[in-house]
A = this chain, B = another copy of it.
Amino acid sequence: MTFPSRTTNQEIELGTTLQPKFGADGLIPCITQDAATGEVLMFAFMNAESLATTLKSKKATYWSRSRSKLWMKGEESGNVQWVKSLHTDCDQDVILIKVEQTGSANASCHNGYKSCFYRRLADLDDPAFKLEYTAERLFDPATVYKKK
Chain A contact residues, CB within 8 Å of chain B:
3-4, 13-18, 29, 31, 33, 37-40, 42-43, 55, 58, 83, 85-90, 94, 96, 109-111, 113, 116-121, 124-125, 128-134
Q: How many copies of this chain are found per oligomer?
A: 2
Whether A109 contacts B128 by the Cβ 8 Å rule is no
A13 to B141, CA, bound (A): 12
Give the chain B neighbours of A121 by CB distance below 8 A.
18, 55, 85-87
Given known A-B contacts A18-B121, A39-B38, A129 and B31 have beta carbons under 8 A apart: no
Q: Could you tell me the distance in whole angstroms from the C-beta of A2 to the nearest C-beta in chain B?
A: 10
* A17-B130, A37-B38, A90-B111 known, 17 other contacts, Cβ within 8 Å: A3-B129, A16-B133, A17-B129, A17-B131, A18-B121, A18-B129, A18-B131, A33-B40, A38-B38, A40-B96, A42-B89, A43-B94, A55-B121, A89-B109, A90-B113, A90-B116, A96-B117
A86 to B129, CA, bound (A): 11
Q: Which residue of B lies closest to A85 (CB)?
A: B120
A113 to B3, CA, bound (A): 25
